[in-house]
Amino acid sequence: MIKFVTIFGLILLFGVTPCLAQGEHIRRLAAELLVAHGDARVLASQPQMKSLHKKGLNDRLRGSLSGLEILIRLADEEARERRTDAQLVVGRLTFFLRGNNLDEFTKTLSGLIKRYPLATNNILPAILTPARSKQAIEIHQEYCAACHNEPDNNVERPAKNLTLQLKTMAQTEFVARMIIGVRGDPSTGLGNPLSDEEIAALVAYYQAR
Ligand code: HEC
């Protein structure tokens, strides 16, 4: 899932104003859970998908599970409350994924998603104002379009057309993808360089296109 996208300039141009309404680890966990849930849904509902892309999604899910136990622990520490037996639940998820039991895999994730919901109040509803439209176009054209506008479908994990992708899923899931799918580069730290307001602008813009 780790991808080094050179969007260093974003930091200089737009500034970083992380608005952490929700604890950082809980937010990351909540987003990971929603994306994994969505990826499992895509795998289960599109049996005709190219085997190349199936492998890409399976690898992504495995990657997500490999960091999940520690993420749950960190989120519980942040909440000062042990909500989950992290080892047990990740063991179950790994077992279901290995056995290609996407039904049980998804159900287990749904339980976790209820426990760790993603707070999207800084981002949704994504209303497109003229200022946001301008900002989103600038960011998108400068930093996203080159990879995402014309996806190369001959790789395992293509960069998708974001406008089309948003229309295939709940907005909350897309927001989760924006939270964990965009990375900075090693010189800026690997965190997402986009602020919540920038994510909101982009989501509103993709939604309106
Ligand atoms: C250098 C090429 C490149 C650039 C630039 C880039 N991306 Fe991506 N992006 C990718 C690739 C490749 C993936 C798929 C990664 C994967 O499947 O693990 C991806 C994944 C994503 C995802 C997650 C999609 C999903 O299915 O979960 C989102 C959201 C996203 N990018 C948004 C953006 C935005 C917004 C920008 C601009 C600020 C951007 N990306 C810039 C290549 C790029």
How many CB atoms neighbour CB 194 within 10 A? Answer: 23
Q: In angstroms, what is the span from residue 158 Cα to ligand 1's centroid?
A: 8
122-173 pLDDT per residue, tens:
999 999 999 999 999 999 999 999 999 988 999 999 999 999 999 999 999 9
* pLDDT(1) > 50: no
74-92 pLDDT per residue, tens:
999 999 999 999 999 999 9
Atom 17 (ligand 1) nearest CA:
157
Q: In angstroms, what is the span from residue 182 Cα to ligand 1's centroid?
A: 6
Give the CATH class of 8-19+121-208: mainly alpha
Ligand 1 neighbours, Cβ below 6 Å, are: 1, 3, 5, 7, 35, 60, 139, 143-144, 146-148, 157, 159-160, 162, 177-178, 181-182, 202
pTM score: 0.90
Q: In angstroms, what is the span from residue 67 Cα to ligand 1's centroid?
A: 20
**Average pLDDT of every residue of the chain:** 90
Q: Parse the chain into domains and list their residue ranges.
A: 8-19+121-208, 24-115
Identify the three-state secondary structure at position 102: helix
How far is the CA of 27 from the CAs of 105, 138, 154, in angstroms? 21, 27, 32
Q: Which among 57, 134, 67 is positioned nearest to 100, based on CA atoms?
A: 57
